[in-house]
Amino acid sequence: MKQALLIICLLVSSLIYSQNSYTFNGETLELKTEIEGTLDLLWTIDNGTYRYFIKTTDNNIVELKNTKNPDTRKYQNEYKTTLQEATQGSGLSTKNVNLTLPSLKKFVDSYNSSSDASYQTQDIKAQPELRLGVFGGITNSPFIYNPENYTSSVLGAELEVITNTKKQRHSGFLQFRHTFENKDFEYRTTEISLGYRFRALKFKRLDIYADVKFATLNLSNRVDTYTDENDIVVSKNYKETIFDAPFIFGIGADYRISNSSYIMFGYNNLAAIRLENGKHFSSDFTLGYKLKL
């Protein structure tokens, strides 16, 4: 289980921090693309300092600089001249443009909109969006002692808070799920959890994500049946209410079927930091439907 957890963490980390490599004036830099269009806006953090670049349609990369004059000690605002030259003929002014990501993003987005009629603005302010999902599936309750690896049915619902920006990747969710009792495995639980989700891969219709449940409340009921030393069958019922911060990891995907609805798939309970597995790898799969509210 620890190996699975390590693999998941490495995979998510590599996806989160994946960037494109560029060679600029002899330097090899990992640059993140903030805006794509007639003019691209790129940036990176180099030794704690933000550096910004623009890339033209002929793949020429120019750094946006704002150095101090060694004599007057005043900033020279070279980046404004660079932007003015790159957007010549657009009628846009760089007078009020600051060397910050939001300000540069707004300017480059405005230029791309004016130079390309098919361009869709990428400078969209984050607005909260709610998505409600319902799902069902099966689970072998991997963190519960289950020597025969029995599976049980699962039903649940989820409320996800997300921002409706085009490149949005982060969200939080409140999830309710109930695991039903199996005749051969007399365990059932109702779980309420809070979690975080990161959309690592985004395609036109498909988002693939990793998620983690960092707080859970479980109301569980289990019956243990055994034969004692007198060959008498004994059944004991255990009821528990447990609040924990288990950090349970899973992966999943949303496939968009309309502008406001999705098919959701989850492969859950793959690993946990604060829970030991019950000697069986996770067989926890869910399939459902998600709707924008």
Mean pLDDT of 274-292: 91
Task: Give the model's confidence band at 129: pLDDT under 50 very low, under 70 low, under 90 confident, else very high.
Answer: confident
Q: 21-56 burial by CB neighbour count: b if 16+ within 10 A, else e?
A: ebeeeeeebebeebbebbbbbbbeeeeeeebbbbbe
pLDDT value at position 181? 93
Nearest to 263 by CA among 140, 150, 134, 147: 134
pLDDT at 33 over 50: yes
Number of other CB atoms surrounding residue 203 within 10 Å: 10
Confidence of residue 16 (pLDDT cuts 50, 70, 90): very low
Domain limits of the chain? 19-115, 126-292
Q: If pLDDT is split at 50, 70 and 90, which confidence band does 237 have? A: confident
For residue 53, what pLDDT is reported? 95
Q: What is the mean predicted confidence (pLDDT) over 230-237?
A: 73
Q: How far apart are CA 147 and CA 259, in angstroms?
A: 45
Find the range with the poorest average confidence among 13-17, 74-78, 172-176, 180-184: 13-17
pLDDT at residue 124, as a whole number: 67
Architecture of domain 126-292: Beta Barrel (2.40)
Q: What is the mean pLDDT of the chain?
A: 87
Answer yes or no: is pLDDT of 47 > 60.
Answer: yes
Q: Per the structure block, which two tokens stand in for 243?
A: 């609040």
Q: With bands split at pLDDT 50, 70 and 90, how would you rate the model's confidence at 19?
A: low
What's the confidence (pLDDT) of residue 18?
A: 44
- Amino acid (one-letter) located at 253: A
- Per the model's pLDDT, the better-predicted residue between 288 and 25 turns out to be 288
Residue 25 pLDDT: 80
Highest mean pLDDT among 50-59, 69-78, 172-181: 172-181
pTM, two decimals, is: 0.62
Residue 275 Cα to chain centre, angstroms:
23
pLDDT over 70 percentage in the chain: 89
In this structure, the strands spanning 128-139 and 285-292 are antiparallel
Q: Find the range with the poorest average confidence among 16-30, 41-55, 115-129, 252-266.
A: 16-30
109 pLDDT above the threshold of 50: yes
Asked if residue 223 has pLDDT above 50, the reply is yes
Give pLDDT, residue 28.
Answer: 85
Range name among 155-164, 192-201, 242-251, 259-268 with the lowest pLDDT average: 155-164
What mean pLDDT is predicted for residues 92-108?
93
